């Protein structure tokens, strides 16, 4: 059974009442924008309130892309004028914080590019599993003079350590599945042909256990590991401020001229193309 949300940018496939797949299906690149926010918010609210769901797997239906960056076509006001969410945070950091707190085990199954918002959603999930051949993770924002806004400075620092977080965030380089596993950016990375079976197996196993016990375990892990909302708020504020800086506007404009959001080559080789802007 599947729940389609509007134009199906985000949909839920119900493997069982306790095991859901949340599928991003916004071709050609799974770009995340203000029009995606209510669709993802509906999913997060369902995760928080459904009495039966125990495990949710985030994945993509778009070949080559798990989820990419924020949409630069709508005016900034389309984002900044949206109401804050239940945490008091703006919508994107609000939803990412709520995924971390929801009484559900969340798993990101990463096949394709997970850059910007895609990386941030994966980091907000409880576990991350990636394809050796197909996964590329990055916080690419430095390549256009931006500061990331979805909490990666805090989350990556906790997850992979200061030095590696600085490498990811200040180089904007692509991190493939094998290196992501070595760094701890993902739990494990698998040959592409083995990824689905492993994630299905662990999700099915988790879904067979007691929901209350799973929720209590997550609460205690959260107490030791989740960043405070104040850290997420300051990162979002830094992102919004950085968007208005002349250097960012100039670099984003040049990248759009090269084909950002239109060219498959630019989106697939984002690290390469952002580096050309500074030569």
Are 24 and 62 in contact by the 8 Å Cβ rule? The answer is yes
The rounded mean pLDDT for the chain is 96
**The pLDDT value given to residue 7:** 62
The per-residue pLDDT for range 81-108, each reduced to its tens digit, is: 999 999 999 999 999 999 999 999 999 9
Q: In what order do the strands lie in the sheet with 136-138?
A: 65-67, 113-115, 136-138, 175-176
**The pLDDT value given to residue 108:** 99
The per-residue pLDDT for range 216-271, each reduced to its tens digit, is: 999 999 999 999 999 999 999 999 999 999 999 999 999 999 999 999 999 999 99
Q: How confident is the model at residue 6 (pLDDT cuts 50, 70, 90)?
A: very low
Between CA 144 and CA 90 the distance in angstroms is 23
The per-residue pLDDT for range 146-168, each reduced to its tens digit, is: 999 999 999 999 999 999 999 99
How would CATH label the architecture of 2-276?
Alpha-Beta Complex (3.90)
- In this predicted structure, the answer to whether residue 2 has a pLDDT above a threshold of 60 is no
Q: How far is CA 36 from the centre of its chain?
A: 13
**The pLDDT value given to residue 236:** 97
Residue among 250, 269, 275, 278 at smallest CA distance from 72: 250
Between CA 59 and CA 22 the distance in angstroms is 6
Q: How confident is the model at residue 135 (pLDDT cuts 50, 70, 90)?
A: very high
The per-residue pLDDT for range 34-61, each reduced to its tens digit, is: 999 999 999 999 999 999 999 999 999 9
Q: How confident is the model at residue 1 (pLDDT cuts 50, 70, 90)?
A: very low
Give the global pTM.
Answer: 0.96
| Residues belonging to the chain | 279
């Amino acid at each position: 059974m599947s729940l389609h949300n509007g134009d199906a940018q985000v949909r839920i496939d119900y493997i069982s009442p306790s095991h859901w797949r949340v599928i991003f299906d916004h071709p050609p690149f799974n770009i995340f924008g203000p029009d995606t926010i209510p669709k993802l918010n509906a999913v997060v609210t369902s995760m928080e309130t459904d009495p039966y769901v125990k495990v949710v797997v985030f994945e993509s239906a778009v070949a080559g892309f798990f989820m990419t960056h924020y949409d630069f076509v709508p005016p900034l006001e389309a984002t900044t004028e949206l109401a804050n969410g239940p945490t008091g945070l703006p919508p994107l950091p609000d939803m990412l914080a709520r995924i971390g707190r929801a009484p559900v085990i969340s798993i990101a199954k990463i096949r394709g590019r997970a850059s910007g918002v895609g990386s941030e959603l994966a980091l907000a999930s409880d576990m991350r599993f990636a394809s050796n051949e197909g996964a590329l993770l990055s916080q690419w924002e430095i390549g256009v003079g931006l500061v990331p806004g979805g909490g990666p400075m805090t989350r990556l620092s906790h997850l992979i350590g200061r030095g590696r977080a600085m490498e990811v965030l200040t180089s904007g380089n692509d991190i493939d599945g094998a290196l992501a596993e070595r760094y701890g950016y993902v739990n494990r990375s698998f040959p592409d042909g083995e990824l689905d079976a492993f994630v299905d197996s662990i999700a099915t196993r988790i879904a067979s256990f007691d929901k209350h016990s799973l929720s209590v375990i997550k609460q205690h892990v959260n107490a030791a590991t989740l960043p405070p909302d104040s850290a997420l708020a300051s990162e979002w504020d830094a992102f919004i401020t950085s968007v208005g800086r002349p250097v960012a506007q100039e670099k984003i404009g040049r990248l759009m001229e090269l084909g950002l959001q239109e060219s498959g080559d630019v989106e697939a080789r984002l690290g390469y193309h952002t580096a050309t802007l500074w030569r």
